[in-house]
Amino acid sequence: MENMVTYVRKTPETFQAKSWNDVDCLVLCQLVYLKFEDILPVTEIESSFRRKKERVTLKCLDNHPEKEKLFRDERYEVTNRALWNAVTASPRFSALEVDYVVASLDLSAETQFCAVTFFLPDGRAFVAFRGTDESIVGWKEDFNLAFSKTVPAQEKSVIYLNKVAGKIKGAILTGGHSKGGNLAIYAAMNCKPSVQKRLEQIYSMDGPGFRTEILEQGHYDRIAARVKKILPHSSLVGMLFERSKDFEVIESRAIGLLQHDPMSWVVRNGAFVRSKKMAASAMRLDDTINDWLDTLDEEHTRVFVNTIFEVLNATESDNLIDLGMDRWKHMQMILSAMAQLDDETKEAVKSVFHTFFELSKEHLTLPKKNRRKNI
């Protein structure tokens, strides 16, 4: 089955010949995961953004003497390199320009923020926010985004969008995958009115939602018509605090939790393959988490989320794939860690973990060669 990489390889038309589409958006949302901050000047979020006359094209970066640093994340080196090679050889993508790289990491605050702006040939800019991966810390950050108060990454996203908009002219697109999608919507809700008017489309690719009070405070209704949320049919992250039905469901060739990987999203004839509905197993987990969290105020929500991940840390797994690979051993560790919880919280956590394991064990039924991300 085809994915975004094969789409890039099989789409020779430039953006002038073939208009922008949702798969193009996913390509840029995936490119922002590459370590541009290691080979390009990094702009400090607190400083004044410079006005740059000559930006760097992706094709030029392919000849950068330190290009290999783009693929520093060894976990995704193969798939990211495949996408990069396709993009830099593509008449459609190789001429795209990149600028305004911002990257910061604060482990103590459980916050990672990165954003990059891509420039299309027609003058539009795509502001891309980096998301998270399947690491335990990364998923905890996705849960943190559901609190009623803002987190540092959200605040940074607003500053970034406003500052980039102040240095460029024309229409702006913005988006991201996972946490990046949440940041794109949050920035769009809370940016300056003059910037908000220039936003043409806001994309959330399997990004978590918001508590009702955040949407109301940000006057989400002002941008709702321009938001496009796309979810794989077994989405977990994208369904966090997602109570509306205003999203598109697409097919993924992965199983369960692994569908969060955008490389698994199926593309056919230059477009995503649509799915009729969300998978029943995913809906059960989504409802379990959302129904419980809806009953809690912010302080209790924070305690609950911290409890889940403290229990997960007891397994000494650093990602959800490893967690499912030896589920019986890890379940014993989890049960031991849960012994100190009060009965109500214990039952809620137990329900969540049960469904986690039900989804993750599906991965084990696949042949080993199919557990790797296909390219």
Structural domain includes residue 17: yes
Q: What is the pLDDT of residue 365?
A: 45
Residue percentage of the chain with pLDDT more than 90: 50
pLDDT over threshold 70, residue 296: no
Query: What average pLDDT does the segment 128-137 reach?
Result: 75
8 Å CB contact between 361 and 258: no
Domain match, 123 and 178 both: yes
Domain match, 275 and 288 both: no
- Residue 100: CATH number of its domain: 3.40.50
* Single pTM value for the model: 0.82
Domain match, 25 and 77 both: yes
Domain match, 231 and 313 both: no
Mean per-residue pLDDT of the chain: 82
Structural domain includes residue 368: no
Domain match, 141 and 214 both: yes
List, in order, residues 6 or more apart from 70 with CB less than 8 Å away.
Answer: 34, 35, 36, 38, 39, 61, 80, 84
Domain match, 269 and 318 both: no
Comparing 141-145, 201-205, 315-319, 368-372, which segment has the lowest mean pLDDT?
A: 368-372
Domain span including residue 259: 4-279
Domain match, 249 and 330 both: no
pLDDT in tens, 25-56: 999 999 999 999 999 988 888 777 776 656 89
More confident residue, 255 or 91: 91
Domain match, 191 and 256 both: yes
pLDDT over threshold 50, residue 116: yes
Structural domain includes residue 172: yes
Give the number of domains in the chain.
2
Distance, CA of 136 to CA of 314 (rounded, Å): 12
